[in-house]
Structure formats: C-alpha cells, structure tokens
Structure 1
Amino acid sequence: MIDKTNQWTPPRLRLNLRHLEVFVATARGGSTRAAADRIARSQSAASTALADLEGSLGVELFDRIGRRLQLNENGRALLPRAQALVEQAAELQALFSEEHAAPLRVAASFTIGEYLLPELISEWTLRHPQSQVQLRIGNTSEVIEAVAGFDVDVGFIEGPQTHPGLAVRPWLDDELIVVAAPGHPLAGSTATLRQLAEVTWVMREHGSGTRLVTDAWLIRNLAHVRVGFELGSTEAIKRVVAAGGGLGCLSRHAVAQSIDDGRLVELRTRLPRAVRTLAIALHTEKRLGRATTDFLQHCRDAAPKPGRSR
C-alpha cells in the first residue's frame, strides 16, 4: 500500500504566460492599445488579460493617468521577473523552432554603435545565421534609459554615467584624439595649450559619453574652451572639421578611416593622453539568456585591442 500523506502537491498556479506577456508589453508601451500592437492581439483581449492578472494577484500594477498606464510600486517589482519568465518561455520555444527565436536587442552609444559593433554583429550573424540582432543607436543617456527600462537586453556605453539599477562592466579601452582639417593652421605642428584655448571646437551634444569625457579632459587642461558647434552625430562633426570649421575631439576608432583617407589629420598637442573605458551595461535584475551571454563573449573576444585598428 502506498502512503500518499507525504507526497508533495504542486501549488495551484493562478498566472499564465499570456497574462505576463500582456503585462510586459503594456509596461513598455504605456497602454493596452500599444501592448496589443506589440503582441498582435486585440485591445480588448489585452485589457481583459491585464485585468485578469491584477485580479489573480489581488493588486493593481499600474496607476491610471488619463489613457496612460504607468507602473506603480507593485508593477515595478513584478516587471523584471515577468520579463524573465516570458523570455525563458521564448527560449524554450526556440529549442524546437529556430524561426521563433526572439532577436537579441542591443543599444549602443554612437561611437560604439557606428564604428565598433557593426563588424562584430556581422561576424556574429555569419557564425549564428538563425540569431537576429536588433541594434539601437543613441547617446549614452538614451542607452542607459533603454537598459534600465528593459527595452533592450544589453547596452554599450562610452561615458562615466551609470544608474542604480544597472551593472556596468569594463569592455575595452579607447583613446580620444584631436583632429583637424589638413589645411588647418595648427596642422603639421605641435599645438600648445594656449593655442588650443584660442581655437574653435566642434563638439558632441550634452548627454553624449564622448562630450562628458571631452569636457573633463579639455577643461582640466585648458584655460578656456570655445565651443562653436554642438552636433548630435560623429559623422557631422567629422564633416564640419574637415571643412575647416574647427577642431574635433573624437574616438580614434571613429576617425581612423578619415585619417587614412587624408580628409582629417591627427593633431599633435601638449595635452596628456585621454584614454577612457568603453563599457557594457546590464540590468541587475535581468536574467541573461544564452544568446546574450554568447554574444557578449564574442564581443569581448573579437573587439579590437589597443593599437590594433579594424
């Protein structure tokens, strides 16, 4: 005779993945209409699923502000765990159907996203043809926001900014250099600190990682920094500098091709070297899937080392 008194009985689950999927999509989109668009369901079905989830948990997950739904304390506590469960379910599904694998979502600041990651992503997709990568490029502040809001799986940043919910890990070193047009009056000589304080500079916009590091470097060493242009694109800065609009301070990675082509020259100066660390930003409460972990390892192994250009 079998004694059943000590057998474990699993708890009755009141949640389902569909409800959690709607919750995560609503948290990202700010409304059940936006959630319905993200997951290809009707708005009424999304609203019902969200109401069922809140009823099952016995708490409200959003503050209703007009037509907007904003996560409250309960929702913020649930979001990382719900997203992890939804992503794990997608991974399980992908075990048997490669075409359903969720794309890897990456955000990167401009220097990294435009000059370092494209080649790394191309190499990755050649080795993993079923693995899709979605790359979003913005300034460092925007990348941090995307990682903190669970909009992306991983972020690559170039500034010293951080966020209490993020873990920032060093990735590789980068050097900032001063560039000028070949015909600039200071080209071909070693510029003094006084000369650098008197010229016009072409800078990235505030919020950019490059701008944060550049400001700290130049202000610490020059009596005055005359900013003539503030631009939101590294390519725009290179064009203005090449046209003689002023000096630029950019990543060596970003200007290597332009220097090789002769459109820009590296200016010799009496400034100390400016080496910064590019970093990987991850949410502390996000579980990394296998694809993310493998991709990060690929980026660490294949990224250009100091003194090696791509």
Structure 2
Amino acid sequence: EFLSKRRFDVVHLHEPFLPFIGPSFLRWANSVKVGTFHTWRQGPHLPYIAGWPALLYWNRKLQGHIAVSEMSRKTIGAYVKAQYRIIPNGVDFHRFADPAPPPPHLSDSRPTLLFVGRIEARKGLPYLLEAYKTVKESIPTARLVIVGEGGLMREYKDMCRRLDLMDVYFEGFVSPDKLPGYYQRADVFCSPSTVNEAFGITLLEAMSAGTPVVATTTNGPATLGPDGVNGLIVPPKDAASLAQAAIRLLEDRPLAAKMAASAHERARGFDWEKVALQLVAYYEELGA
C-alpha cells in the first residue's frame, strides 16, 4: 500500500537482503532499486550461506550495488556477483569541525582518552580498559571518557573495579549537540573494534573534530588510510599495542597534531554533501 500510493525514482535499501523489509521493497517497488552493503566478515558469513538461494533470487531485483568499503565489497561479492560501486559512509563534517565548548567537567587540561560507541562486545572496550591501565601507569594524570549506551555497561564498570582503574567516566548517552565538544576536548580518540566493522563512523567524527586517533585493523584502514599518516592503527584485541599507541600520541604532541591535521583534511572528503553527489551520479548512471 505504501508503494502503490507513491512514485519514487529510486528506492535505496541498506542491507537489502535482510528478511521482511528488504525483500518486500525489492518485490513491490516499481523504480530503480539500489542496495548498499555494510557487512564485513572474516571467514564464512553464515547467514549468507544459509540464505544463498534467496540472495541470488532477490539480487535479480537490484539494479545498483554499493559497498561502503573494499572489505564490504569482498564480503558480499563472495556470495553475490555484481558490479559493486564503492561509496563510503559520510559525516556531517562541519558539525564536528566547527568549534564547540568542552563539557564543563572536562574543561581542564588533563590528558584525556575518549571512546564513543555502543557498549557491546564487538567494540572492544575490555581491551581499551586494559590498555588504559597501562596508560595510567605511564601518565598518572590521564583519564578515560566513555560515551555511549549498551547492555554491557554494568559488566565493564565491574571490570574497572577489578582492575582498580581510576578516573574512568561512563557518560552514557550524550545529546548530539554536545557530542562535538567531547571529541574536540579529547587528546586521543580510541576505537578498539574487534570484528565485523567495515567502516568507522565515530572515526570520521573524531577526524572531523581534529582529534588524534588510534584505531584497529578492523575499521582503521578503510577510514583512516595507511597506518601512521592520519592516525595509528593497531591489531584488534591487543591491549599492549593499543596502550603503546595512545601513550605515543599523548607524549608526542607535535606528531599527534600532524596526524590530526592530516586526518581532518581527509575527513572533508567524506562530508555528506560530497558523498550525496556520488550517490546522485550513480542513480543517474542507473537511469533514474
């Protein structure tokens, strides 16, 4: 009924093969249909394997195929052959780049590590907490600020108590208008993701804010580029390497500033205005 009463030039679906919504639009939409694929898996992708015949069927309904990164393209391309266009996720660059006041309780000059994201297993927070213990031993005035919500909050607070960690701030939900101030206040942004993250949105936000970044090989290369140019990239689940990278950026401020400035310029290329133009050009190629 929704589609029958409206005429769209393009129906753009994210993860179009997910059950129910994706197939429904693929079946009934009478327009150019485009799918964007975000998923990355190391090794077999069991849902794709289990639903492979259905994937092949519904893929015939798609005219356009987009992957947000090369890792995403390889994941979906192993199961569904198509001509994939890589168009990354974007960021509201000026929202994070324009000067914003710091949170009042963080407005001092103490060395500050920042994490922003869902409090869930794949984000790698246990490794960041272990790394922070090492950072704190090297730089006693350091603190760790954790922004986000999720079901593992209590478990990670318990971990802080077990590790006897001091100066860890669990901020919970932070409103969108306040978030840029957190990024800009931080001395180092840490993204310790462990699995299945083909692109780092919070990395882009930190880069836009001009904050030095440490990421993992899970999400760093697609967003940051090569290690040591726009930030530091370490192996996932490696607390020692994460700590070493964070300490290096906290102690070598000229290096941190140089990488942050380079990352800031790179983030401009991911501004939604530029990404939107790529999307429109692709729609037109498809005949929309």
TM over 0.5: no
Please give the TM-score of this superposition, normalised by the length of structure 1.
Answer: 0.29
Please give the TM-score of this superposition, normalised by the length of structure 2.
Answer: 0.30
